Structure 1
Amino acid sequence: LTWLDAAPDAPPPALVPRSLEMVIPPAERREPLTLPDWEALILAAQDAMRHGELEKVVLSRTRELDFPSPPPAETIFRRIATAYPHTFRFFFEPVPGHVFLGATPELLASAAEGRLRTIALAGSAPRGATPAEDARLGAALLDDPKNRREHAFVVRHILRSLRGLGLHPEHPAGPRLRTLPNIQHLETPVEAALENVMLLEAAAALHPTPALAGTPRAAALDFIRRHEPHARGWYGAPVGWISPNGDGKLAVAIRSALMRGTTLRLYAGAGILPDSDPQAEWEETALKFRPLEEGVRGAELRS
């Protein structure tokens, strides 16, 4: 099965009618990377920053849900897609027996009517329990120096990459809030006339942005390869569609999970700067796991 919904305003998919949803068995939750391990990983990154090797790096961790029998992938996906409708939702089998699925808010690049569109999405805060608290947290995110610096790295990378292709990108003066049910982000939309540049060419120049890898890009990727204890696999990969005329949409496969046999492996990442707090980044990644864990809601999760 290959399925992609790359339209944030599209209605939830109907892969599995609610009346036919299958029961999801109880799962054991495991943290392959412990909090002390995570703290050590961040301290190593910050040491590299002090030595001038990095300015920012995005570190990821996994959470694994172990089931007594293979869980129903389509039921999990339907729940995720329904709970997070304003995202790019994807479900496919990269190899037989493996299902990769998720609901990502991050557009890598789209092409339509001669225009290229992308977004810088970096900087995060939780949603509030009340409208007043939500507004306060959003305003604090917009004013937070650490999150604004993290976001600026991504904006500069996008502008530099598109200008390197001979394009003339346009963007607003500052970021806006992008709100999801569980989290809110800083977002800056960027557009440009395509001017004989193909979508895949633009995507190759942009990917991975500092929102996924870090900066400088080569140094950040090298640090990730040497220090992260897990392979990212499909996590963060471009996923989408391209039509014969060159139009299309490609999203970044974050907020994603790999199902293999009886294990669902969740992925989440956080942007690390010299002043990042490991505990806060741990909590941010836990927040980013939530959409995937909501896909198994109704099943008992035991830590």
Structure 2
Amino acid sequence: MTSGTKQRYFEHRVRLSDDPLSVISAITSSGLFDDYVVYERDDCWSFAGGVLAEIVLERSGAALHGPAEMFLPWDGSPLRQVRKLLDRVRVDGWRAYGWTAFELAYAKDGDLSSVDGQRLLHLVVPRTEVRLEDGWAWLRSTDTGELAAVTAVLHSAPDATPGRPQPVDVRGIGADEYRSAVQSAVDDIHAHRFEKVILSRTVPLEADIDFVGTYVSGRRGNSPARSFLLRLGGVETAGFSPEIVVRVDPDGRVVSQPLAGTRALTGDTDRDALLRTELLADPKEVYEHAISVKIACDDLSDVCDPGSVNVEEFMAVRERGSVQHLASRVAGRLASDRDLWDAFAAAFPAVTASGVPKDAAYRGIRAHEAQARGLYSGAVLTVDQNGALDAALVLRAVYRQNGVTWLQAGAGIVGQSRPGREFEETCEKLDSVARFLVATNMIHAGTVPARPAEAGASSTGAA
């Protein structure tokens, strides 16, 4: 272990001459960075490129790489180890970007019995960071040459016209298998094994996807709560998240926004209004949403001041790309003896991507899904030195790892679920991405290939 030399960011700002999405496309396509993370929140796009410090959590423990090196063997408290390693980052005002696998849910309290060799968490504190907001690009880097190179990209009048999307028919694969899994889960619910479980299906893509082009095309056609574009340690994803897992503000305010209950969003105003009315009146959808809100309240109550947790918004309808959802907002005040990692641990994984109760739902997911989920239904997140955290639920995305590319979506299964309707719901969600895929070759669905259960993006998931 070495202490490392403290570094500093050199800062610069540039007036934007193009829209943020075009600028993000230009930076990610510039070739300046092998690995990067793009994260959009509340009309602010952030780009993180290069690695100043890196934290990887696996079954063996947590490792910090960079100017400071440290390894902490597995001790049953993985997020506490991540906290310790971030405290050793030697630059003021750092922000970390990265992802967590769904399987961190099994391991966060120390249980490794359902975890194989996959990566559970991967965070980087970037060497260079760009934030786009209010018509300005705010740049900082520990490398002055890299700062100048990115500035030059911003001045080059970027053109973010992606290739023509090649939509995929997501209804032509896996229907019988998914309906059978739904019926088995309904039987489990009637046998009182759990109340709700989210089951997903995959659609493999047999073509080379342009992830940057797909991100630009898909972001122009979606209305996400968060969006992300990531290439980090062999994992790639581009997505348009409908909801957050949890947000922690520097002042201790904690927010969760469960979405559950779905109907299509067709673009036909009259048809969409009819579907919205149907959604709000459907007992199955209302029940599914209500129990999700109840669990979200319970999760936050574990880490917030007594009496501070409340439902600030209940059963609003949010439009998210190709679907409309029932949405609620739960908020509380973080207890004085808790921090952002405690809040993340309490809320993760999102109840809308796992089930009720969570531990029983995990068993249902493992029973009905053939492979580890990895990045799907995990989180893409940012963590700030000032105590802020923002974690997007990884849904409505395209994934690539180990040469395999796929889509994935799921539905919440309760006792009243009908297998045909749940399959159609997965199709409606998949369309949020499937309509915007940009590739150099024709895309078509095929047989699901085997892929190793490692490093964080895999099959079968939720909402």
Q: Same fold (TM over 0.5)?
A: yes
Separation (CA, whole Å) in 1 of partners of 2:216 and 2:312 = 35
The AA in structure 2 aligned to 1:275 is: Q
Q: How does 1:1-303 map to 2 (within 5 A)?
A: 1-10=35-44, 17-18=158-159, 21=162, 34-67=174-207, 70-96=208-234, 98-112=235-249, 113-167=251-305, 168-172=308-312, 174-196=314-336, 197-260=338-401, 263-296=404-437, 300-302=442-444
The alpha carbon displacement at 1:301 in A equals 4.3
Q: TM-score, normalised to structure 2's length?
A: 0.59
> Cα deviation per residue 1:98-118 (whole Å; 9 max; x = unaligned)?
312211011111122331111
The alpha carbon displacement at 1:140 in A equals 1.8
The alpha carbon displacement at 1:27 in A equals 8.9
Distance 1:138 1:251, change over 3 A: same
Secondary structure of the corresponding residue to residue 352 of structure 2: coil
Separation (CA, whole Å) in 2 of partners of 1:139 and 1:174 = 16
1:12–1:81 CA contact under 8 A, matched in 2: no
Separation (CA, whole Å) in 2 of partners of 1:130 and 1:239 = 32
Q: TM-score, normalised to structure 1's length?
A: 0.88
The alpha carbon displacement at 1:32 in A equals 9.8
The AA in structure 2 aligned to 1:248 is: L
The alpha carbon displacement at 1:85 in A equals 4.4
Q: CA RMSD in A?
A: 2.8
Separation (CA, whole Å) in 1 of partners of 2:326 and 2:389 = 24
> Cα deviation per residue 1:108-151 (whole Å; 9 max; x = unaligned)?
11122331111111111112443232222112211211011111
Separation (CA, whole Å) in 1 of partners of 2:164 and 2:280 = 41
The alpha carbon displacement at 1:210 in A equals 2.7
Separation (CA, whole Å) in 1 of partners of 2:292 and 2:160 = 43
Separation (CA, whole Å) in 2 of partners of 1:163 and 1:91 = 32
2:239–2:397 CA contact under 8 A, matched in 1: yes
Distance 1:146 1:12, change over 3 A: farther
Q: Per chain length, whose mean CA-contact separation is higher, i.e. which structure has more relative contact order (CA < 8 Å, sep 6+)?
A: 1
Separation (CA, whole Å) in 2 of partners of 1:81 and 1:63 = 20
1:8–1:86 CA contact under 8 A, matched in 2: no
Aligned residue-pair number: 299
The alpha carbon displacement at 1:302 in A equals 4.2
Structure richer in helix, relative to its length: 1
Moved more, 257-266 or 182-191: 257-266
Distance 1:198 1:20, change over 3 A: same
Separation (CA, whole Å) in 2 of partners of 1:115 and 1:73 = 34
Stretches of structure 1 that go unaligned for 5 or more consecutive residues are none
Stretches of structure 2 that go unaligned for 5 or more consecutive residues are 1-34, 48-131, 133-152, 446-463
Moved more, 32-41 or 196-205: 32-41
Distance 1:259 1:294, change over 3 A: same
> Cα deviation per residue 1:184-212 (whole Å; 9 max; x = unaligned)?
00111111122323222112111123311
Percent of aligned pairs with the same amino acid: 25
Separation (CA, whole Å) in 1 of partners of 2:398 and 2:358 = 24
